[in-house]
Amino acid sequence: MSSEIGPKQAGRSVRILLVGDRDVGKTSIILSLVNEEFLDEVPGRAETITIPAEVTPELVPTDIIDYYENEQDHEELCDQIRNADVICMVFSVVDDTSRLNIRDKWMPLLRECQLNNDIFHPVILVGNKSDLINSISMHLVEDVLYEYPEIETYIQCSAKMLMNISEMFCYAQTAVLHPTAPLYSVEDKILTEKCKKCLCRIFKICDADNDGLLNDEELNNFQRHCFDCHLPLQQLNGIKTIINMNCERGISPSNCVTLDGFLFLHMLFILKGKAQTTWTVIRKFGYNDRLDFSYSYLHPNLKVDKYCTIELSHKGEHFLSRLFETHDKDKDDCLSPVELKSLFSMCTEEPQLLRKCLYNTNHKGWITSQGWLSFWSYCTLVEADTTLAYLAMLGYNMKTGNQLSGVQVTRSKKIDLQKKQSHRSVYICHVIGSKGSGKSTICKRHVKTTKIDDHLENTIEPNISVNRVQVYGQDKYLVLKEINPISENHLIKDDINCDVACLVFDSSQSCSFEYIAHVYLKYYQNRNIPVLIVSNDKGKPLVKQDYILQPDQFCKQNKLSAPYVFFNSSEGKKLYSNLATMASLPHKYSPHQSSLIPSLRESIVFIWKTGIGVAMVALCGLLVGKCLVKPKKDLLS
């Protein structure tokens, strides 16, 4: 797998601070880097050097700060340590005192200055004046390397011979941009838990068929996504050989890479000093430097006008359908708790909205494929930001680059009214009625689920159900939301606004209709919202309603459809299709739209007036023509 360094990280810069005893060569190292030659005479302290991004290996601007104890007190040193991104701890390989002071003085001081930090700044241990010894002496620093895990690496250099000077600063940059500590525990010699969790999610996303293995095609898709290049077969086989030789269960009998093998490979990158490879992968899948999801990855900017809504696009729906299919191991068209947990293991948690609405399930209460798509249609409508976040976490971005193509913004509702046509596919219906009218039953019967308690017709929390319905042969999603106002005589704006209102009364209770009649007259009479009056038949004798008008008379007077009689049976399913139809054709079913839709009588009068006007214009033209022709004949004679 490629280990090339990616493009510049936007907004990043690196502050490198050099500390150590006097006369170990800190200033000489900085000046040798800048001048590309060794100066025999150097000042006590070099000024802060800023290196432009385009001349650094990691393509980020870099500040190099020198420390000189004769000019800086302890407090100023601590401030510089806290403000630095990485510390280069310099000692002389021919001076035992400067070397011993690393453990006895400098490393304790660094920690003391960073007591309030979550993690310590990375440290590069630098042994200067290596031109005065014959070979690299790792035994000089082995004890301090094990004692302080924040020390990323040890490098020997020579400011006089210009040896490993640029490499030292390259290591310092890498320690900031691609630190080892968040990925690997030096003490335990294993990947950190957060790193392991990130890589497990990445493996699962790349495992397109969800068989627990990465085949050659899946590995190449992973390679293209992270490094934008193809993985040659010879290199791929070489990687598998390395994994197989070092990781007992790293390669499956079918010659595919297992999760153990995938984790081992990244640990090998880190141990070989190529943590940037693992960081490139992790950042490509949306993680920040703390191995948490970056905000911009989960929440891209999406502008939505006031009268528009957001729905799943065809791509988004196809992705979620495919995700359901690959996790439905037993192919029973539903996800068991184990299968659902496996699916959402790629996310921080299950969406909370999943437990706050009703959708189709099997007899065990397991979500079906239709319930799955219904839920996401509802979630996108009311919490589009949640859908965008979960599309990213579930791996949608791997094929498309951005989850915005997984949703679409609908046309303004105002334009729908003008065009007398709606292209939306998700509608929300508010179910309103007095206590005991049966609005809870209507919401619950919208779906097939065992989550319903038949003995609890009324609940404190509003019932929300979503299911797919047919409107003129097309699939639409209808969301039913039971409205339980704080006060029966007062509805807030959010209780009123919807695509269609379902006003329910109990035909066996004489005082039931009066409530919804008042609701209609107060809140819906002058709004462009279709309304359907529903008479809930509970199998009891019908009674006369205690209102000045009976339900059918009220509907006729207010130009509403006749009351729909709802039976608590399978026959009542037609109600939901009717509601969705009304929502999709608001211009036809909204009484307040009558001004936009001329009546038949008005149309006929308009046609007659237009016809008479055209006839009179024609007659006048004929008379004028005759008058002009007569003088012309007289002139000729």
3 state DSSP class of 500: strand
Distances (CA, A) of 90 to 47, 105, 159, 304, 499: 18, 13, 12, 56, 70
pLDDT of residue 591: 62
**Structural tokens at position 372:** 């799955």
What pLDDT, on the 0 to 100 scale, is given for residue 593? 52
Q: Which two tokens stand for residue 592?
A: 């307040």
pLDDT of residue 618: 64
Q: What is the mean pLDDT of each run of 10 residues along the chain (637 residues)?
A: 44 90 95 92 91 86 92 90 96 94 95 86 94 80 88 92 94 91 88 97 97 96 94 94 95 97 96 92 95 95 91 97 97 96 96 94 95 97 96 92 93 85 92 92 89 44 88 94 80 91 94 94 91 89 92 94 82 85 83 43 46 64 58 42
- C-alpha torsion 347→352→353→359, nearest 10: 80
Residue from 572, 381, 566 nearest 466 by CA: 381
Helix (H, G, I), strand (E, B) or coil at 305: coil
pLDDT for the residue 58: 80
C-alpha distances out from residue 158 to 26, 38, 62, 225, Å: 11, 10, 21, 41
In Å, how far are 122, 462, 521, 525, 565 from 518, measured between CA atoms?
70, 21, 5, 10, 20
For the chain, domains (ranges, CATH) are: 14-178 (3.40.50.300), 190-292 (1.10.238.10), 297-410 (1.10.238.10), 424-588 (3.40.50.300)
pLDDT given for residue 301 in this prediction: 93
d(CA 328, CA 370): 13
Query: What is residue 263's three-state secondary structure?
Result: helix
Coil vs helix vs strand at 529: coil
End-to-end CA distance of the chain: 105
Phi, psi of 200 (to 5 degrees): -65, -40
Model pLDDT for residues 337-372, shown as the tens digit of each residue: 999 999 999 999 999 999 999 999 999 999 999 999
Give the integer Cα–Cα distance in Å for 418 and 414. Answer: 6
Strand (E) or helix (H) holding 314: helix 314-327
Supply the pLDDT for residue 597.
35
Cβ-count burial 405-417 (b if 16+ within 10 Å, e if not) = bbbbbbbebeebb
pLDDT at position 596: 35
pLDDT digits over 233-274, tens only? 999 999 999 999 999 999 999 999 999 999 999 999 998 888
pLDDT in tens, 368-408: 999 999 999 999 999 999 999 999 999 999 988 789 999 99
Pairing of strands 464-471, 474-482: antiparallel
DSSP per-residue codes, 199-238: HHHHHHHH-TT-SS-B-HHHHHHHHHHHHSS---HHHHHH
pTM over cut 0.75:
yes
Strands in 313-440 per DSSP E: 334-335, 367-368, 407-409, 426-433
Q: How many CB atoms lie within 10 A of CB 397?
A: 22
